Amino acid sequence: MKKRNSKGLSPVIATVLLVAMVVVIALIVFLWFKGIQEETVTKFGGENVKLVCDDVHFEASYNNNNLYVSNSGNVPIFELKIKVQGDGSYSTQNLRDASSSWPEMGLNQGGAFSDALIFEGTEIVLIPVLLGDTDKGRKTYVCNEDQHGVVVSI
């Protein structure tokens, strides 16, 4: 005896498997694109904060365990990230955490900062951190160290 309905089951299973694979692949691609898209941080009425980093200019020096920073640009610097380098290693910290005298809303245009801070290493790199607006509120953005960091010898 031959079974008459045994051939019809295989195309149904194949179709269900194909539909399931397409749905899974579509979900993976959707989540991948969602992860690539980063939240845009803006400053000064909608300008991307990455472009504003090009307008940040500041000078820094370190003498007798005192750090001096002056903002000579047109952009307020909310915070500075400090990268202490020496002996083939480095450590990072925020100036706001290291110094209690850093201004609450950052270093405005033409502003100056100085404080007694002790660093153990051969040099420090000061990296500007800007405060920008997003859809969800305010957010900090760390500028690129290679382009905007200021190297100071200790």
CB atoms within 10 A of CB 112: 12
Residue 44 has pLDDT above 70, yes or no: no
Give the model's pLDDT for residue 72: 92
Give the model's pLDDT for residue 100: 82
Give the model's pLDDT for residue 105: 86
How much is the average pLDDT of 16-25? Answer: 96
Give the model's pLDDT for residue 16: 92
Q: Which residues lie across from 6 on neighbouring strands?
A: none
List, for residues 56-112, the tens digit of each pLDDT value: 999 999 999 899 999 998 889 999 999 999 888 899 999 888 888 888 888 999 999
**Residues listed for the chain:** 154
Give the model's pLDDT for residue 113: 92
Give the model's pLDDT for residue 33: 83
Among 50-54, 62-66, 134-138, top mean pLDDT goes to: 62-66
Residue 40 has pLDDT above 70, yes or no: no
Give the model's pLDDT for residue 67: 92
d(CA 65, CA 153): 11
Using CB atoms within 10 Å of the CB of residue 32, give its burial: 0 to 12 exposed, 13 to 18 middle, 19+ buried: exposed
pTM higher than 0.75: no
**Higher pLDDT among residues 9 and 122, named by residue:** 122
d(CA 67, CA 103): 14
